[in-house]
């Protein structure tokens, strides 16, 4: 920036110009809204596993949420949760690989 002294009018003019530019771009540029709930990797198998996990969690909590491998409800719930997370990670990885491949081929 040069050593020129700016008057209040100059600052006001720059301010108006910047505001006008922002408003103009707001009208012209498209808005994209990110929806975190949309998961491109989600499929019927994950839905089935998640539903099973929720049902087993309800059963486990209805029994007082006992902890320890000796409790069947605890063991079944933890196994279902583990399987769901494993499959979800696998599908996320697969989707990311496909996206990266599509980008590299573009």
Domain ranges of the chain: 32-105
Residue-level pLDDT at 56: 98
Q: What whole-number distance in Å separates Cα of residue 59 and Cα of residue 12?
A: 66
> Between the CA atoms of 79, 83, 88 and 94, what dihedral angle is there, to the nearest 10 degrees?
160
The structure's pTM equals 0.63
Q: Which residues of 8-35 are buried (b: 16+ CB within 10 A; e: fewer)?
A: eeeeeeeeeeeeeeeeeeeeeeeeeeee
The rounded distance, in Å, linking the Cα atoms of 88 and 80 is 12
Q: What is the mean pLDDT of residues 12-27?
A: 90
Confidence of residue 1 (pLDDT cuts 50, 70, 90): low
Which among 22-26, 30-34, 49-53 has the top mean pLDDT?
A: 49-53
**What's the pLDDT tens digit per position in 42-95?**
999 999 999 999 999 999 999 999 999 999 999 999 999 999 999 999 999 999
**Does residue 40 surpass a pLDDT of 80?**
yes
Q: How far apart are CA 58 and CA 65, in angstroms?
A: 9
């Amino acid at each position: 920036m040069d050593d020129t002294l700016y008057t209040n009018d100059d600052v006001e003019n720059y301010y108006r110009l910047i505001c006008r530019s922002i408003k103009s771009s707001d009208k012209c540029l498209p808005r994209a809204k990110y929806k975190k709930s949309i998961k491109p990797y989600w499929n019927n198998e994950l839905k089935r596993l998640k539903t099973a996990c929720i049902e087993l969690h309800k059963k486990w909590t209805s029994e007082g949420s006992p902890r320890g491998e000796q409790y069947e409800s605890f063991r079944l719930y933890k196994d279902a949760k583990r399987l769901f997370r494993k499959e979800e990670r696998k599908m996320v990885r697969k989707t990311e690989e496909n996206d990266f491949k599509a980008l590299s081929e573009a």
